A and B are shown apart, each in its own frame.
Chain A
Amino acid sequence: MRRWIWFFIVVLLGVGFGLTYGWVINPVKYVDTTPAKLRSDYQTDYVLMVAEAYQAEGDLDLAARRLAVLGDSPPAEIVRQAMILAAQIPYADSDQELLSILASEFQTWSPNPGAPQP
């Protein structure tokens, strides 16, 4: 019986070592990912880039196509999530303002079926 106890103890030690190695020392490195899998703050920065470009270009369809790479959610929802994180980080007021403008533009936007898809 004592042998089994020691056996399970070293198994648990091994599991602990394996988890430490697999999660901390040498975690999985992802390659060939998509923007939808980017870390949330990188996604927020991407949305900010779209907002910056939109400010100059004024093309909401183009902004929507650019945001589409971040997932299937509606553009307004993607921007809203970005605004939440931007407020938490926090981004500068001017950047949050850009996100806010883009979000409000998307409130009344409907997809243009003739627009090219990304």
Chain B
Amino acid sequence: MRDERGHWYLLTGFVIGIVLGLVYAWLISPQQYQDRDTSPASLQPEFKDQYRAMIASAYVATGNLPRAEARLELLDDDDVVRALAEQAQRTLGEGNSPLQAQALGLLAVALGQGESALIPTSIPNETAAPDQTSNTPQITNTITATPDESTSEIAPANPSPLSTDLTPQATRTSNITATPLPTRTPTITPGSPFVLQENNFVCDTKITGPLIQIIAENSSGQQLSNREIIVTWEEGEDYFFTGLKPEIGPGYADFLMSPGVVYEVRMAGGGQTVPDITPAECETQSGRRYWGSWLLVFSRP
């Protein structure tokens, strides 16, 4: 009897073999190669936050910015500075770990400015980092503070709640420059109290929500990060820090107001209190209403 089935059985056997091999490699025993890919980038989001917070705490302890950069690189964030700043905001909002938020903010600012003048370096040995050795990724990109130019319409203080005059009276252009901070300490530097330089109501459709926007500067106009701002209202008090949004400015901070609430704002450590800050609306020429914001510029003389 002559076999007329041809060689299809060979193809069938090959396909069966491939399927068996893949099932074994992907399902039954992926452990052999699992170790290759379990980098911090594969962590669950909450563990990534924890890992990022740990990096910030270690940075605050050692002041070793290159090592912190190399570690952050492992998390594979699209925008490292933004990820740090957002986590700092979240942590601050939760209110249970202000020191952690401060550490995250300090690292964000240091990375944004490309230098580590904030923290005194206690362990200068950079070659000690295990993630800077040949078996771990090297830093391949440079993180720089990209100037983020935003133009806002600034209206005079004490506007009418429904101001229809959208003609800009002044134009503010914020430029972020990678200027070294004036101090080496992460805490508030004692000195003369801040005084209010500007108090403007801003109508800008790009700003979402009624914000109190703060800019802290020194006498030469250089923005100051890590300055505490205290906001009080009838039923409560909150505080926040400049520098947690380095993409806007190292001395910038903002606070989301609740409609109908009257706030008082002051810089920590004494200084001028700005009373009667309350959300107010703006209106476009087409009649659409939106929340305006208060821009307060504090300066240390």
Residues of A within 8 A of B (CB): 3, 6-24, 27-35, 37-42, 44-46, 48-50, 52-53, 55-57, 66, 69, 86, 89, 91-92, 94-95, 118
* B24: A residues at CB distance < 8 A: 15, 18-19, 22
CB pair A17 B54 closer than 8 Å: no
Nearest chain A CB to B125 CB, angstrom units = 5
CB pair B130 A53 closer than 8 Å: no
- Could you jot down 25 A-B contacts, CB within 8 Å? A3-B9, A7-B13, A10-B13, A10-B17, A12-B17, A18-B18, A19-B21, A22-B30, A27-B34, A27-B36, A27-B37, A28-B33, A34-B44, A35-B51, A38-B38, A40-B35, A41-B135, A49-B71, A52-B61, A86-B130, A89-B130, A92-B128, A94-B123, A95-B130, A118-B50
Main DSSP-derived SS at the B contact region = helix
Nearest chain B CB to A84 CB, angstrom units = 13
CA distance A113 to B19 in the complex (A): 52
CB pair A42 B25 closer than 8 Å: no
Residues of B within 8 A of A (CB): 3, 9-26, 30, 32-40, 42-44, 47, 50-51, 54-55, 57-58, 60-62, 71, 74, 122-123, 125, 127-131, 133, 135-136
CA distance A10 to B123 in the complex (A): 59
Q: With A16-B21, A22-B22 known to touch, is A35 a contact of B43 (CB < 8 Å)? A: yes
Closest chain B residue, CB of each to CB of A92: B128
Closest chain A residue, CB of each to CB of B3: A3
* A39: B residues at CB distance < 8 A: 35-36, 38-39
CB pair B10 A18 closer than 8 Å: no
CB pair A49 B130 closer than 8 Å: no
Main DSSP-derived SS at the A contact region = helix
Residue in B13, B20, B30 whose CB lies within 8 Å of A28: B30
Smallest CB-CB A-B distances: 5 pairs: A18-B21, A14-B17, A22-B25, A92-B128, A56-B61
